[in-house]
A and B are shown apart, each in its own frame.
Chain A
Amino acid sequence: QKEVEQDPGPLSVPEGAIVSLNCTYSNSAFQYFMWYRQYSRKGPELLMYTYSSGNKEDGRFTAQVDKSSKYISLFIRDSQPSDSATYLCAMRPNRDDKIIFGKGTRLHILP
């Protein structure tokens, strides 16, 4: 079993819809969880950063961590065509550990 699993997509949704992106993981020691957004031919940029379980909201984005299920989610409300990108989940056990990245989910928001 891979440490971090992420459906590669592509995921196509109409503009204005709520998008749900997910990752599962196998290492119960992971405590720090991140979501990066990567536009085509650009570097990843940090979108959300959470520690341990719970929800974190930032504008239209909500990150959710369920450590009991080893499952993390990113929700995008009122999706826009500019949200079309690849979304990478990432996680690590401690601040000093290397980050493990998911392979990314390609998202297309249809106008």
Chain B
Amino acid sequence: DAGITQSPRHKVTETGTPVTLRCHQTENHRYMYWYRQDPGHGLRLIHYSYGVKDTDKGEVSDGYSVSRSKTEDFLLTLESATSSQTSVYFCAISERDTTSTDTQYFGPGTRLTVL
């Protein structure tokens, strides 16, 4: 998985509780992404980061926040989890330079269930 780890790999939580998912990379790539994958919707971008402390919203960012204090770590926080946030969450990384194709490499995923 291209030097990407996600933690936890599985989590069950209750509605209204805060949840933080962690993505850690060892590739020193500049760009990091959080996606969610749901049946019938495919992969949808939640937030992404283009550098330390530089983040931006994706298409489904409501209810989520992110932080990136180090190049290697990108955190996704659900401030108050809802059942609609039950999903599989994937982190991805990419490196945009003039020589690369800027493809995204995905982590193994975190399966989150909100009861």
Chain A positions within 8 Å of B, measured between CB atoms, are: 32, 34, 36, 41-46, 49, 88, 95-96, 98-99, 101-104
Contact = CB atoms under 8 A, between A and B. Distances in A.
A104 B39 CA distance: 10
Given A95-B102, A96-B96, A98-B58, A43 B107 contact: yes
Given A101-B42, A102-B42, A42 B103 contact: no
B104 A104 contact: no
Given A34-B103, A95-B96, A98-B58, A103 B41 contact: yes
Contacts of B111: 41
Contact of B90 (A44, A96, A102, A104): A44
Interface of B: 1, 4, 40-45, 48, 58, 90, 96, 101-109, 111
B12 to A, nearest CB: 16
23 contacts: A32-B101, A34-B103, A41-B109, A41-B111, A42-B108, A42-B109, A43-B1, A43-B4, A43-B107, A43-B108, A43-B109, A44-B43, A44-B106, A45-B1, A45-B105, A45-B106, A46-B104, A49-B101, A49-B103, A99-B45, A99-B104, A101-B42, A103-B40
Given A43-B90, A49-B101, A98 B45 contact: yes
A96 B44 CA distance: 17
B61 to A, nearest CB: 12
Contacts of A43: 1, 4, 90, 106-109
Contact of A46 (B40, B42, B103): B103
Most chain A CB inside 10 Å of its own CB: which residue of B1, B4, B101, B111: B101
Nearest to B44: A101
